[in-house]
Amino acid sequence: MSHLAWASASSIAAAVGNGELDASHVIDQALARITLRNPVLNAFTAVTAERARARATVKLSGPLAGVPFAVKNLFDVAGLPTLAGSKINRERPPATADATLVARLEVAGAILVGALNMGEYAYDFTGENSHDGPSRNPHDSTRMTGGSSGGAGGAVAGGLVPIALGSDTNGSIRVPSSFCGIFGLKPTYGRLSRVGSFPFVSSLDHLGPFARNTTDLALAYDAMTGADLLDPVCVERTDPPVSATLTAGIGGLRIASAGGYFRAGAQPEVLTAFDKVAAALGALRQIEIPEAARARAAAYVVTTSEGAALHLQRLRTRARDFDPDVRDRLIAGAMVPAAWVTQAQKFRRWYRDAVLRLFEDVDAILAPATPCAAPEVGQKTFVLNGQEVPLRPNIGIYTQPISFIGLPVVAVPVPQPNGLPVAVQIIAAPWREDVALRIAYDLEARGVVRAPQPPE
């Protein structure tokens, strides 16, 4: 295997498992690759080289044997303070144990190689960070990775690791997947344990994997499922591994495209990608996700208020230590009347019931992931529906109405000739990650979607 940087996790694991490849060699290659590319991409905030090298000397087995991975720096990593992209958290004592999902990936044989840059406290869609500097897009380093799991997007798209973990409260897995052109899975709300991760908005926080292909995404996900009594949101539920049904095909699946809100405002290249995927799947039926704009509004209100409550004491005493872009939004969020938040949560119930009714007639719904391809680093506004609007609050217009009710989504990347990739969301009914992944696999097998290798 001469090009380990672009090797799939499944091929690395197979070669390590049967003794063709030494895990120590894999880790040395990964660490060298990080040393080479991170100065440009700024994806990593910590490299756990010593830990990784030590682990690589152990006899590893499992579906991810010897596979390097990295995690957004809101995951606890034993021995590191859990930054969550902030300056303030640098003063925290080092974590004494790994997050549940880190431990589960290692049980499957994977090897942690570091922690990844992110937008401060995950309140971000850009991948920018005033303390650590912006993570940069491997397809064009003057462009954003998207956020808030920006380092995860850059690390996977840039060939630094085949698998990374991120979090998604309003789109923070799906937006970097789109801007960086990789696969991302935001599972059903309550599916994966959040124990050992720094929160943002408990009622909306999800964790999930990134990869450069569907098989790897499914392998990582399967390794992480399972109840965790320490997370009150994580459910006790046993579903078959998704890897087992990945290749089952899409015969019999009813797939529709989201219209209306999910087409309005999208840049032409986004609609081109969306229509290409829809045509490939025969998803000619267009359906309206009811009250999507209002759902996005309600998600926004819940997010800003709940996020601000989490950080209120820090805003009182250390406001100057925040990233200014995050601080100003959180201060406004602290001032939201309680009645607004309660109304948003009541609407959430109504909206959930309305959207679940759609799944009586369809198995999956397609929607764009972002209204545009990756903007320039530092860009503050963009044009949406013919109007210049602030960038940060509006990148998530297509992702927020979906995570608001916890539906599972696979973001699949569509390469663009002479342009930056964008992703399409494959949205399934609650607990049907398997359906979204089957569709993603089918699209990938037919060459419709693909994580393009960036030029270097």
Partner 1 sequence: MNDSDWLDSNAALLGIGVAPEWREAVLLHLRITRELAQRVFDFPLPDEADPAPAFRA
Beta strand ranges found along 43-82 (DSSP E): 44-47, 68-72
Q: Can you tell me the distance from the alpha carbon of 161 to that of 103, in angstroms, rounded to the nearest whole number?
A: 17
Q: Contact residues for partner 1 (CB under 8 A)?
A: 188-190, 203, 232-233, 235, 291, 293-294, 296-298, 300-301, 304, 312, 315-316, 319-320, 324-325, 327-329, 331-336, 340, 342-350, 352, 390, 393, 405-407, 430-431
Tokens 């995951």 locate to 75
- Write down the least CB distance from residue 116 to partner 1, Å: 27
For residue 86, cis peptide bond before it (omega within 30 degrees of 0): no
- Catalytically active residues are 72, 148, 172
Query: Can you say whether the dihedral through the CA atoms of 205, 443, 255, 293 is positive or negative?
Result: positive
The sign of the CA dihedral 284, 290, 293, 298 is negative
C-beta closer to partner 1: residue 325 or 444 = 325
Least distance to partner 1, CB of residue 119, Å: 16
Alpha helix locations (H) across 319-415? 324-334, 338-358, 400-403
Do residues 265 and 325 touch, judged by C-beta distance below 8 A?
no
Measured from the CB of residue 66, what is the shortest distance to partner 1 in angstroms? 34
- In the complex, least distance from residue 302 CB atom to partner 1, rounded to whole angstroms: 9
Of 3 and 316, nearer to partner 1 (C-beta) is 316
Neighbour-count burial of 387, counting CB atoms closer than 10 A to its CB (0-12 exposed, 13-18 middle, 19+ buried)? exposed
Given the complex with partner 1, which of 14 and 233 has the nearer CB atom? 233
Minimum Å distance from CB 158 to partner 1?
Answer: 32
**At residue 41, what is the residue type?**
L
CB of 328 to partner 1, least distance (A): 4
347-376 residues labelled b (16+ CB within 10 A) or e (exposed): bbeebbeebeebbeebbbbbbbbbbbbbbe
Compute the residue count for the chain. Answer: 456
Q: Which is nearer to partner 1, 249 or 260 (CB)?
A: 260
Closer residue to partner 1 (CB): 271 or 312: 312
Strands (E), 121-236: 136-137, 140-144, 163-168, 183-186, 206-211
Q: Which C-beta is closer to partner 1: that of 134 or that of 307?
A: 307
Beta carbon of residue 330, minimum distance to partner 1 (angstroms, whole number): 9
Contact between residue 414 and residue 422 where contact means Cβ atoms under 8 Å apart: yes
Cα 125 to Cα 119: distance, rounded to the nearest angstrom: 7
Distance of CA 398 to the CA centre of its chain: 14
**Sign of the CA dihedral running 45, 185, 198, 301:** positive
Measured from the CB atom, the residue of 109 and 190 that comes closer to partner 1 is 190
